[in-house]
């Protein structure tokens, strides 16, 4: 590597004293499945390539305000090569329950504290925090429409994993919905165990009991 080339490489920002750092870099690319349902009928069901085209500057140290996080700018293109049109507006719910397409990693307890104390937080919000994902959800009623929004970021890189928005007309029963889900997420084993810890305990207890019965019979 030449002496000049060494200075052309973008430096990797170190974690702050609070453990925060961005887990994505310029030109990182992710593929999502985008579905848009209107009154129960599927209007869009397409793959979307999401590319990071601008990363935020250094994270404030210490970080004391959610609004000072900064945003990861992205480029959205359907996997067939066409650009997204006005349908991209269906992703605006990301601003209600998250920080756009990415959050820093390394200290999700701090992110929880900052978000729950931000101007975005209401009594209708709930934090999502398990072994694999961090994010938030929100539900509310506007006239005759019940809305539910959920955003989850993968803890390993802080980039969006799942986004969903559902609007239900309580009078007609019509349901409109949007999902934007990253490919290759797999099964959340840790989260599954945490959400079903009672069931896991029962199963383990049954296995132990069966083992004890077998040992008694062999004596």
More confident residue, 20 or 4: 20
More confident residue, 198 or 172: 172
Percent of the chain at pLDDT > 70 equals 79
Co-location of 182 and 204 in the same domain:
no
Q: How far apart are CA 103 and CA 88, in angstroms?
A: 20
Co-location of 142 and 205 in the same domain:
no
Co-location of 192 and 178 in the same domain:
no
Co-location of 129 and 194 in the same domain:
no
Beta partners for residue 150, in sequence order:
137, 164
pLDDT attached to residue 14? 78
The residue range of the domain holding 167 is 9-186
Q: What is the mean pLDDT of the chain?
A: 85
Residue 126 tokens, joined: 């709930």
Residue 3 tokens, joined: 């002496």
Domain count, the chain: 2
> 4 in a domain, yes or no?
no
Confidence of residue 91 (pLDDT cuts 50, 70, 90): very high
pLDDT attached to residue 13? 61
Let me know: does 138 contact 124? Beta carbons within 8 Å: yes
Confidence of residue 127 (pLDDT cuts 50, 70, 90): very high
pTM, two decimal places: 0.80
Co-location of 213 and 167 in the same domain:
no
The answer for residues whose C-beta is within 8 angstroms of residue 144's C-beta and 6 or more apart is 169, 170, 171
Which range, of 50-64, 68-82, 108-122, 186-200, averages the lowest pLDDT? 186-200
Co-location of 193 and 181 in the same domain:
no
């Amino acid at each position: 590597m030449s002496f000049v080339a060494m200075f052309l490489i973008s430096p990797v920002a170190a974690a702050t004293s609070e453990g925060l750092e961005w887990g994505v870099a310029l030109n990182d690319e992710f593929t999502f499945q985008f579905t848009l349902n209107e009154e129960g009928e599927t209007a869009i069901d397409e793959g979307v390539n999401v590319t990071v085209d601008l990363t935020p500057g250094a994270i404030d140290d210490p970080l004391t305000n959610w609004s000072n996080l900064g945003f990861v700018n992205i480029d959205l293109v359907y996997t067939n090569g066409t650009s997204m049109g006005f349908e991209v507006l269906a992703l605006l719910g990301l601003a209600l329950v998250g920080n756009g397409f990415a959050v820093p990693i390394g200290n999700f307890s701090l992110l929880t504290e900052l978000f729950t104390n931000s101007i975005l937080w209401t009594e209708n919000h709930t934090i999502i925090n398990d072994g694999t994902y961090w994010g938030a959800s929100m539900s509310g009623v506007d006239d005759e429409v019940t809305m539910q929004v959920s955003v989850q970021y993968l803890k390993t890189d802080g980039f969006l994993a799942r986004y969903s928005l559902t609007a239900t007309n309580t009078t007609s029963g019509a349901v409109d919905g949007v999902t934007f889900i990253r490919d290759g997420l797999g099964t959340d084993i840790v989260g599954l165990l945490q959400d079903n810890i009672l069931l896991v305990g029962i199963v383990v207890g049954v296995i132990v009991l069966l083992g004890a019965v077998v040992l008694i019979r062999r004596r």
